[in-house]
A and B are shown apart, each in its own frame.
Chain A
């Protein structure tokens, strides 16, 4: 025990029996990290912090919330008016959900741009897609809880989708509802699941991080770290960089919370749920809009539906396409089989990457518009392109793209582009690329 690496005797005593301090020392201090990570590598830790914020605010909300159709809406207003700092807690939780998705979407596109899903990080990536799915489920369930008009009608529209599944569809919907319409049993099970899923997320995120620490982070030039010269210890270099990033994030986040807390919400959700009055436009939260657009683009006369129209109804096709748009991410590491990771050395892939980003944004805009021309056509084209990107373009690029020569090591370009701030050092080659 006397030869413990910890000077503090209490720490050494504990560590001898339960090696938590060795573990932290190993994972944080000794953990070697590529020295050239840019600010896009901040978003993973940000997402983790937001999850903690969501769990803490959520637990406090649950202390005052009443999961009953007759009281849910009023209990939220009670939180807003009569609970000490209740408005703050609720606005943080509400805007936290949006922030979570912004951060995670950036995190995912970062992974795509720099090829972080490629060997040996496929399982890390797959766990990430699972996290996305569970987050989406959690957010959907949570949005139902305040029992406003959009809560109710959103829940009705989305749960009804399952009825498109042949044979068992209707039984599934009844099971989800706990009855024959969205009603009190639905609200109760949604609350229960909304409380459960974030803790499932925690478990999967632990696995995500175990997988990450197995081979370490990818980096902007996408080549493996080769010598100790290429890496720096996570602490203090990236802890302080992550903290600075957190500061910038919090300024923006609290800007919304304090000065525009309902900017991202829908006014209809301040009207109590009413099964007898359908809102003129039922729109989901902004982060579901691209998926909603894919769902709605499969209409009976849509060109993209024709090839499969003999097989299934347009409704089922839409539902399957919506799920497929995420499922396709699971096999992304094998669809994109180019040996080069980073888009910096893949001139064609880089352009297609940005086309995909634009395509997703167009889908998002279409999802917010009423299902009328020209938006239906635009969303059909954008849906077709989305799948084309993954299923046709990426595999072909792997065969035909002429990639640029890779640097021999991480230290090489960093030393050359060096001087000044790390951000400038990493931004420069990106502009040139």
Chain B
């Protein structure tokens, strides 16, 4: 039986690796080194804060991260006062007040991130008919995850001669179909980092992707820390149970 099991496993491995999912003519994104991958991975705080800056100064013009609240930024090392300032730079609609009127006020840390457009129609109108998707869950919502988002942001190229692009479209190696309605969002020195890190396209792509990975899985560090403890506990418990089992069964053999 054991031999048969091994051959079955081998057959599966061979079959499932041949001809992977056809995904248009997009290139498979290269694997990156991420601070948050692996069993003990944690988010690099510097990259997170720089990544927030890139999101805030570049991407936020078009993309929302509607599931985040400003208070969440305290989890990535911003002080409460700093978060209050970040929030206060945005306006939200509140109300109705005592007169029954809606009114504008500066955002508070408890508010969700303010969206750049009030609705999908407005977003499309501002982007040649294309819809810039919400980015909160982006690294979980694409095959390839963080590697894909990083590759997409740094994957803009001159189109090959035979490829005709539609009006307002850009050529991107990693996007399905290679035509994307987002113009290259990052250019050398697009932001000025407070910690003097050089703002190359690849650096900014790396930082903003780290920030988006945190936005998608804010529980990641907690989860992995807890996981290590739980698995260690279970390994010991299972070892003990195995000992008990042998002891109980010993009188049978």
Interface of A toward B, CB cutoff 8 Å:
35, 74, 77, 80-81, 87-88, 232, 236-237, 240-241, 243-244, 247-248, 250-251, 254-255, 257-259, 261-262, 267-268, 270-271, 280-281, 354, 357-358, 361-362, 365, 368-370, 372, 375, 418-422, 425, 427, 430-431, 433
- Asked whether, in the complex, the Cβ of A365 is within 8 Å of the Cβ of B16, the reply is yes
A87-B219, A255-B231, A354-B4 known; A241 vs B245 contact (CB < 8 Å):
yes
Nearest chain B CB to A221's CB is how many angstroms away?
13
Which of B19, B224, B235, B246 is in CB contact (< 8 Å) with A258?
Answer: B224
- Asked whether, in the complex, the Cβ of A365 is within 8 Å of the Cβ of B12, the reply is yes
Contact mask for chain B residues 111-136; partner A; CB cutoff 8 A; 1 contact, 0 none: 00000000000000000000001001
Chain A contact residues: helix, strand, loop or mixed: helix
CA distance A369 to B16 in the complex (A): 9
CA distance A267 to B224 in the complex (A): 20
- Asked whether, in the complex, the Cβ of B140 is within 8 Å of the Cβ of A262, the reply is yes
Nearest chain A CB to B225's CB is how many angstroms away?
9
- Asked whether, in the complex, the Cβ of B253 is within 8 Å of the Cβ of A422, the reply is yes
**Interface hit among B50-58, B83-91, B188-196, B236-244:** B236-244
Q: Which of B1, B3, B249 has the most CB of A within 10 A?
A: B1
Which residues on A sit within 8 Å (CB–CB) of B142?
Answer: 267
- Asked whether, in the complex, the Cβ of A422 is within 8 Å of the Cβ of B252, the reply is yes
Chain B contact residues: helix, strand, loop or mixed: helix
Which residues on B sit within 8 Å (CB–CB) of A254?
Answer: 227, 230-231, 234
Interface of B toward A, CB cutoff 8 Å:
1-4, 8, 11-12, 15-16, 19, 21-24, 39, 67, 133, 136-137, 140-143, 145, 176, 216, 218-219, 223-224, 226-228, 230-231, 234-235, 237-238, 241-242, 244-246, 248-249, 252-253
A240-B245, A247-B234, A258-B224 known; A81 vs B67 contact (CB < 8 Å):
yes
- Asked whether, in the complex, the Cβ of A431 is within 8 Å of the Cβ of B12, the reply is no
Which of B15, B140, B235, B244 is in CB contact (< 8 Å) with A270?
Answer: B140
- Asked whether, in the complex, the Cβ of B248 is within 8 Å of the Cβ of A240, the reply is yes
Which of B24, B39, B223, B244 is in CB contact (< 8 Å) with A240?
Answer: B244
Nearest chain B CB to A254's CB is how many angstroms away?
5
CA distance A358 to B3 in the complex (A): 14
- Asked whether, in the complex, the Cβ of A240 is within 8 Å of the Cβ of B241, the reply is yes
CA distance A267 to B22 in the complex (A): 16
Q: In the complex, what residue of chain B is closest to A419 when comparing beta carbons?
A: B253
- Asked whether, in the complex, the Cβ of A248 is within 8 Å of the Cβ of B15, the reply is no
Which of B2, B12, B253 is in CB contact (< 8 Å) with A427?
Answer: B2
Q: In the complex, what residue of chain B is closest to A259 when comparing beta carbons?
A: B227
Which residues on B sit within 8 Å (CB–CB) of A430?
Answer: 1-2
Q: Which of A236, A237, A259 has the most CB of B within 10 A?
A: A259
CA distance A281 to B20 in the complex (A): 13
Nearest chain A CB to B22's CB is how many angstroms away?
6
- Asked whether, in the complex, the Cβ of A358 is within 8 Å of the Cβ of B11, the reply is yes
Which residues on A sit within 8 Å (CB–CB) of B227?
Answer: 254-255, 257-259
- Asked whether, in the complex, the Cβ of B252 is within 8 Å of the Cβ of A365, the reply is no
Which residues on B sit within 8 Å (CB–CB) of A232?
Answer: 252
- Asked whether, in the complex, the Cβ of A268 is within 8 Å of the Cβ of B219, the reply is no
Which residues on A sit within 8 Å (CB–CB) of B219?
Answer: 80-81, 87
CA distance A430 to B246 in the complex (A): 21
4 additional A-B pairs beyond A250-B234, A357-B8, beta carbons within 8 Å, are: A81-B67, A419-B253, A421-B246, A427-B2
Which of A247, A369, A418, A425 is in CB contact (< 8 Å) with B21?
Answer: A369
CA distance A254 to B226 in the complex (A): 10
Q: In the complex, what residue of chain B is closest to A344 when comparing beta carbons?
A: B1
CA distance A280 to B2 in the complex (A): 39
- Asked whether, in the complex, the Cβ of B231 is within 8 Å of the Cβ of A358, the reply is no
CA distance A175 to B11 in the complex (A): 43
Nearest chain B CB to A36's CB is how many angstroms away?
10
Which residues on B sit within 8 Å (CB–CB) of A422?
Answer: 249, 252-253
CA distance A433 to B2 in the complex (A): 10
Which of B1, B12, B16, B248 is in CB contact (< 8 Å) with A433?
Answer: B1
Which residues on B sit within 8 Å (CB–CB) of A271?
Answer: 133, 137, 141
CA distance A375 to B20 in the complex (A): 11
Which of B11, B67, B252 is in CB contact (< 8 Å) with A35?
Answer: B252
Nearest chain A CB to B213's CB is how many angstroms away?
13
CA distance A362 to B12 in the complex (A): 8
- Asked whether, in the complex, the Cβ of A420 is within 8 Å of the Cβ of B253, the reply is yes
CA distance A232 to B251 in the complex (A): 11
Which residues on A sit within 8 Å (CB–CB) of B23?
Answer: 280
Which of B67, B133, B176, B238 is in CB contact (< 8 Å) with A251?
Answer: B238
Q: In the complex, what residue of chain B is closest to A281 when comparing beta carbons?
A: B21
Shortest beta-carbon contacts, A-B, top 10: A258-B227, A247-B238, A270-B141, A244-B241, A270-B140, A87-B219, A270-B137, A430-B1, A244-B245, A240-B245
Which residues on A sit within 8 Å (CB–CB) of B248?
Answer: 236-237, 240
Which residues on B sit within 8 Å (CB–CB) of A375?
Answer: 19
Nearest chain B CB to A97's CB is how many angstroms away?
18
- Asked whether, in the complex, the Cβ of A267 is within 8 Å of the Cβ of B140, the reply is yes
Q: In the complex, what residue of chain B is closest to A362 when comparing beta carbons?
A: B15
Which of A248, A358, A421 is in CB contact (< 8 Å) with B238?
Answer: A248
- Asked whether, in the complex, the Cβ of A370 is within 8 Å of the Cβ of B21, the reply is yes
Nearest chain B CB to A265's CB is how many angstroms away?
9
Q: In the complex, what residue of chain B is closest to A254 when comparing beta carbons?
A: B230
- Asked whether, in the complex, the Cβ of A258 is within 8 Å of the Cβ of B226, the reply is yes
CA distance A370 to B226 in the complex (A): 38
Which residues on A sit within 8 Å (CB–CB) of B133?
Answer: 271
Which residues on A sit within 8 Å (CB–CB) of B19?
Answer: 369, 375
Q: Which of B11, B23, B227 has the most CB of A within 10 A?
A: B227
